[in-house]
A = this chain, B = another copy of it.
Amino acid sequence: MPRVGLNPAAVVAAGAALADEVGFANLTMGLLAEQVGVRTPSLYKHVGGQEDLNRRIAALALNEAADAVGGAIQGYAGRDALAAAARAFRAFVVEHPGRYAATIGMEPSGPDDPLATAGERLLGAFMAVLRGYEIGESDLDHALRMLRSLWHGFATLQAANGFQWSADIDESFEWLIAFADRGLRAL
């Protein structure tokens, strides 16, 4: 039995990649084991089980999304930053639907859960966008939730093929960016 040389990070990365490929709902321990060249029970040497694997994939996805959004807005402010953040976020969800699906409905178990940290990083990136607008303190939290709802809603609907008459999705997204920008500037 030659050793494969796995570690938790490699297992989680392979799980995320597999989720993107076959869909998060179809990600199974057996399939992942086969993918990394090992028998199913051996995975338990690296992750606690399916639930733990899912949480780690979700945390990975949120961190990657935060990196993508945070990187995209570097050097931009105002509407440019908003557009860059929105596009980066949507691109991430479209390119990695499986791992992003892992984040839906996953709530952090505690304040030092890596999942919570990753989520806060993503929120921080969106918050940085809002700093480019002149928004009163009392509106900041609401505006942040608005952005999050809007991008999350659009991305998940698109990922689920929710827009049936599917023409012009890109155009709709750019329209959304302009709409949010006008609204934020009007505050």
Q: In the complex, how many angstroms separate the beta carbon of A117 from the nearest chain B beta carbon?
A: 11
Q: Which of A10-18, A70-78, A103-111 faces chain B?
A: A103-111
Query: Which residues of B lie under 8 Å from residue A154 when comparing CB positions?
Result: 145, 149, 153
B150–A149 touching, CB < 8 Å: yes
Q: Which of A1-9, A37-45, A126-134, A168-176 faces chain B?
A: A168-176
Complex interface bits, A68-91 against B, C-beta within 8 A gives 1, otherwise 0: 000000000000000000000000
A149–B153 touching, CB < 8 Å: yes
Q: Considering only CB atoms, which chain B residue lies closest to A139 in the complex?
A: B175
A108–B148 touching, CB < 8 Å: no
Is the contact region of chain A dominated by helix, strand, or loop, or is it mixed?
helix
Q: Which of A142-161 contact B (CB under 8 A)?
A: 142, 145-146, 148-154, 156-157, 159-161
Q: Considering only CB atoms, which chain B residue lies closest to A171 in the complex?
A: B142
Complex interface bits, A92-106 against B, C-beta within 8 A gives 1, otherwise 0: 000000000100111
B157–A149 touching, CB < 8 Å: yes
Query: Which residues of B lie under 8 Å from residue A156 when comparing CB positions?
Result: 104-105, 152-153, 156
A107–B161 touching, CB < 8 Å: yes
